[in-house]
């Protein structure tokens, strides 16, 4: 219970958890494009036009004067300044520096510039490279922007929880099931719900000693938001995993972990988002397992032995 009390004491809302998340949001990240992409749904329409230009070609955008940028975005210099502040920068000079740094970082990386958009005439090697590039960048950018302080609080909460319920539908439901399987194998009392009615039923039975995890790329999926809201109303600590830190799901949660994935042709965000979510889930699991190292090793050995007889030794 000591661990649980420690985790509960840091519940954001009036605690350090959300403050830590907001503090990170106000600092410019290594790759400003990651932040712009994550915050784009929460921006005003004119600001979104500014954002799309920055995301599509940060190197070129960094060379524009504010008047040139405003003309290309069909907006005003005032809107661009407002956009800069919305993404946590002091003004337009800071935006130009951040965009130039992002462009330089990309040029120096191990991946050459590869668009994630798959064209009708792309051959097999090109499609494979584009998919591989999108997945690799989703993992890299997710790790770059993860908030370690919030991650630590999430681990504390999961370790101290009496019961953990996980909500997710669609591709996020696959991630919910993966987290369930990982935590269950090391002895946690955990359930994953991908059906809305079952999720709401479970949420109604939770209390202050419990933790819920809502997983949604957009953070706007009501099938995930509603159970999290019900569980929190009953006293459970709520954790969100989403690509958008200002989404409705993030607003409901006590602790927010974010991914960095982009949608391209064929809504491949549903692929890259899953890869990014799995990356965060693996980090969470590794940290929970590390904190209970001996018990984890023992549990994994016992579960491995239990299913070992189900493997064939011949051809």
DSSP state letters, the chain: -HHHHHHHHT-TTSSHHHHHHHHHHTSPPS-HHHHHHHHGGGS-HHHHHHHHHHHH-HHHHHTS-HHHHHHHTTS-HHHHHHHHHHTT-SSHHHHHHHHHHHHHHHHHSSS----SPPPTT--HHHHHHHHHHHHHHHHHHHHHH--HHHHHHHHHHHHH-SEEEEE--THHHHHHHHHHHHHHHTT--EEEE-SHHHHHHHHHT--TTEEEEEE-SSS--HHHHHHHHHHHHTT-EEEEEES-TTSHHHHH-SEEEE------GGGTHHHHHHHHHHHHHHHHHHHHHHHTHHHHHHHHHHHHHHHHTTS-S--
Tokens of 5: 């009390």
Rounded CA-CA distance 59/133 in Å is 19
Q: Which CATH number fits domain 24-144: 1.10.10.60, 3.40.50.300, 3.40.30.10, 1.10.10.10?
A: 1.10.10.10
Which class is domain 2-16+145-307?
alpha beta
Confidence of residue 266 (pLDDT cuts 50, 70, 90): low
Tell me what the pLDDT averaged over the chain comes to.
84
Tokens of 68: 């040139």
pLDDT at 255: 98
Which is higher by pLDDT, 133 or 236? 236
In the chain, domain spans? 2-16+145-307, 24-144
Spatial CA neighbour of 228 closest among 243, 209, 206: 206
Average pLDDT over residues 266-282: 80
> Residue 206 pLDDT > 80, yes or no?
yes
pLDDT at 13: 40
Which is higher by pLDDT, 315 or 125? 125
pLDDT at 267: 54
Confidence of residue 202 (pLDDT cuts 50, 70, 90): very high
């Amino acid at each position: 219970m000591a661990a649980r009390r420690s985790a509960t004491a840091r519940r954001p809302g009036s605690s350090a958890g959300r403050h830590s998340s907001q503090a990170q949001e106000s600092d410019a990240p290594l790759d400003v494009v990651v932040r712009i992409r994550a915050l784009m749904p929460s921006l005003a329409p004119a600001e979104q036009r500014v954002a799309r230009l920055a995301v599509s070609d940060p190197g070129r955008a960094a060379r524009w004067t504010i008047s040139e940028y405003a003309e290309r975005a069909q907006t005003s210099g005032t809107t661009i300044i407002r956009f800069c502040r919305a993404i946590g920068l002091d003004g337009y000079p800071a935006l130009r520096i951040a965009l130039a740094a992002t462009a330089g970082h990309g040029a120096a990386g191990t991946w050459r510039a590869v668009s994630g958009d798959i064209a009708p005439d792309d051959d097999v090697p090109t499609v494979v490279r584009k998919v591989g590039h999108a997945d690799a960048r989703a993992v890299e950018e997710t790790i770059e922007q993860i908030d370690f302080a919030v991650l630590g609080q999430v681990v504390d909460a999961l370790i101290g929880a009496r019961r953990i319920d996980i909500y997710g539908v669609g591709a996020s439901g696959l991630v919910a099931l993966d987290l369930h399987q990982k935590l269950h194998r090391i002895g946690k009392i955990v359930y994953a719900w991908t059906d809305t009615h079952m999720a709401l039923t479970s949420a109604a039975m939770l209390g202050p000693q419990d933790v819920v995890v809502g997983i949604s790329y957009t953070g706007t999926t009501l099938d995930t938001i509603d159970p999290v809201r019900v569980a929190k109303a009953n006293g459970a600590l709520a954790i969100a995993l989403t690509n958008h830190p200002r989404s409705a799901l993030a607003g409901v949660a006590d602790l927010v972990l974010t991914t960095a994935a982009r949608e391209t042709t064929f809504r491949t965000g549903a692929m890259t988002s899953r890869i990014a979510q799995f990356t965060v889930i693996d980090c969470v699991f590794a940290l929970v397992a590390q904190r209970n190292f001996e018990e984890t090793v023992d549990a994994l050995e016992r579960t491995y032995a239990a299913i070992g007889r189900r493997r064939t030794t011949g051809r």
